[in-house]
């Protein structure tokens, strides 16, 4: 075996990241099915991580804060694996798996910058505060529905997405006064 052939054989045994097209809204169950099938076939050494990229978002439901996970890429899984005939067959024949992304039926590994963005996002997600989902914009007219200024109407002057706070300008004694409120304390008029 020449040095080039040995190098090529070493590269083919190296784990790479691939993107799988799967049935949307079944990401977790398909991930579990893939892991189960890999264990049944004894191919654990060829499979690394299987990631469903998500981010946590705070939403207001019935006046209460609720943290939910939103999928960044619905209908896709990222899988770290050594691609060979056995692993390809087990993955592709798992219920709910469509195909690998690639051209002409040949899976194409993710590029390094894509992997770093995906994995970097996972690291940032655990360190950053949770994003708050707000359907307001600066200049919107809102009515305060909770707190000391309940029933007042005003205009949104500023939005703090990171903390879920809104600054509303309300008129008190003929003067425009800024009031800091939680996003769930107001509703659009």
What is the distance between the alpha carbons of residues 136 and 167, in angstroms, rounded to a whole number? 11
**Rg of the Cα atoms in the chain:** 25
Region 21-39 average pLDDT: 93
Question: For residue 110, what pLDDT is reported?
Answer: 87
Domains of the chain: 3-132 (3.30.70.940), 141-188 (2.30.30.30)
What does each C-alpha distance from 164 to 65, 125, 154 come to in angstroms?
Answer: 10, 17, 18
Task: Return the residue matching tokens 């893939």.
Answer: 34
Among 93, 79, 76, 77, CA closest to 15 = 79
pLDDT at 33 over 80: yes
Q: Which residues are within 8 A (CB) of 31 and not within 5 positions of it... i.e. 6 or more apart?
A: 50, 52, 77
Lowest-confidence segment of 9-18, 54-63, 147-156 by average pLDDT: 9-18
Beta-bridge partners for 103: 106
pLDDT digits (tens, 9 = 90+) for 76-133: 999 999 999 999 999 989 999 988 888 677 888 888 888 877 776 544 444 555 666 7
What does each C-alpha distance from 134 to 89, 159, 161 come to in angstroms?
Answer: 44, 9, 8
pLDDT at 159 over 70: yes
pLDDT, mean over the chain: 82
Edge-to-edge order in the sheet of strand 175-182? 175-182, 165-172, 153-160, 141-144, 186-188
Beta-bridge partners for 165: 160, 182
Judge contact between 98 and 20, C-beta under 8 A.
Answer: yes
What is the distance between the alpha carbons of residues 157 and 67, in angstroms, rounded to a whole number? 26
């Amino acid at each position: 075996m020449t040095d080039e052939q040995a190098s090529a054989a070493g590269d083919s045994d190296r784990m790479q990241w691939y993107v799988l097209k799967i049935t949307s809204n079944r990401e977790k169950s398909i991930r579990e099915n893939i892991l189960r099938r890999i264990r049944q076939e004894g191919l654990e050494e060829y499979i690394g991580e299987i990631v469903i990229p998500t981010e946590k978002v705070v939403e207001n439901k019935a006046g209460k804060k609720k943290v939910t996970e939103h999928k960044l890429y619905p209908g896709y899984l990222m899988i770290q694996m050594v691609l060979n005939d056995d692993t390809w067959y087990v993955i592709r024949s798992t219920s709910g798996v469509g195909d690998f992304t690639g051209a002409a039926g040949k899976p194409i590994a993710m590029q390094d910058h894509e992997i770093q963005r995906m994995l970097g996002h996972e690291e940032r997600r655990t360190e950053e505060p949770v994003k708050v989902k707000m359907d307001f914009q600066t200049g919107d007219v809102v009515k305060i529905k909770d707190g000391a200024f309940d029933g007042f109407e005003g205009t949104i002057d500023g939005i703090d997405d990171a903390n879920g706070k809104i600054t509303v300008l309300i008129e008190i004694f003929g003067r425009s006064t800024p009031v800091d409120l939680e996003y769930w304390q107001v509703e659009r008029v």
